[in-house]
Amino acid sequence: VAALITLSFGGAVGLMFLMLGCALPQYNQYWPLFVLFFYILSPIPYCIARRLVDDTDATSNACKELAIFLTTGIVVSAFGLPIVFARAELIYWGACALVLTGNTVIFATILGFFLVFGSNDDFSWQQW
């Protein structure tokens, strides 16, 4: 229960940084909200690969490695999009810093979710 509360707090803090980067009066641009798509897309490849792959073999698996590669590409894109917006002067650099901080917290929370609930015990989220 403590892990679930900690993860939900981390998600709330990360979204708070994202909203601050958008809604503060000196920034007042909502372009950074497009990173929400990356938050939704990032766990999907690994979840699909985990459902398709048998975890009985100890060798490396190409399907899981492809899923990790795709997830890495999504995460890097989520960090790159606010930087591109700031370079194109769609948002301010302060808003970019807040969004990048929010990205770090959110992706750490997503990673923590998979580390806490990814084991094969009775209380796991693998039935999704």
Domain count, the chain: 1
pLDDT digits (tens, 9 = 90+) for 45-81: 988 888 887 665 556 688 889 999 999 999 999 999 9
| Segments of the chain with pLDDT less than 50 | 124, 128
Q: Is 88 exposed, middle or buried (0-12, 13-18, 19+ CB in 10 A)?
A: exposed
Contact 4, 99 (CB under 8 A): no
Q: How many CB atoms lie within 10 A of CB 103?
A: 23
Contact 113, 7 (CB under 8 A): yes
Residue 125 lies in a domain: no
Containing domain of residue 84, as a range? 1-117
pTM of the model: 0.84
pLDDT at 63: 87
From the CA atom positions of the chain, what is the Rg in Å? 17
Residue 7 lies in a domain: yes
Residue 126 lies in a domain: no
Give the CA dihedral 78, 35, 93, 101, nearest 10 degrees: -70
Residue 127 lies in a domain: no
